Chain A
Amino acid sequence: MASPIEQFQIKPIIPVINFTNSSLFMIGAAAVIVGGLLLATRKRAVVPGRAQSMAEVLHDFVANTLVDATGKEGMKFFPLVFSLFMFVLTANMLGMIPGFFTVTSHIIVTFALALLVIGTVVVYGFMKHGTHFLGLFVPSGVPAWLLPFIVVIELISFLSRPISLSLRLFANMLAGHIALKVFAGFVVSLLAAGGGLMILAPLPLLMAVALMALEFLVAALQAYVFTVLTCIYLNDALHPGH
Chain B
Amino acid sequence: MADPNERNGDNERKPGSADDADLSARLQSLDARISQASAQRAEAEPRPRPTSDSSALGQAFRLSAEFVAGVAAGGILGWIVDRLFGTSPWGLIVCLILGFCAGMLNLMRAAGMVKSARYDDKR
Contact = CB atoms under 8 A, between A and B. Distances in A.
Interface residues of A, number: 35
Contacts of B69: 160-161, 163-164, 167
Given A140-B117, A153-B98, A239-B121, A160 B52 contact: no
Most B CB contacts (10 A, CB to CB) among A71, A139, A168 go to A168
A157 B50 contact: no
Contacts of A159: 73, 76-77
A161 B68 CA distance: 11
B33 interface: no
A171 B58 CA distance: 11
A164 B107 CA distance: 11
Interface in A142-175: 149, 152-154, 156-157, 159-161, 163-164, 167-168, 171-172
Given A156-B77, A157-B70, A139 B117 contact: yes
B121 A171 contact: no
Interface in B85-123: 95, 98-99, 101-103, 105-106, 116-119, 121-122
B-side interface mostly: helix
A216 to B, nearest CB: 13
Contact of A153 (B66, B105, B121): B105
Contacts of B58: 218, 221, 225
Interface of A: 68-69, 71, 136, 139-141, 149, 152-154, 156-157, 159-161, 163-164, 167-168, 171-172, 217-218, 221, 224-225, 228, 232, 235-236, 239-242
Given A153-B102, A156-B98, A228-B52, 4 more contacts: A154-B105, A160-B66, A217-B55, A235-B119
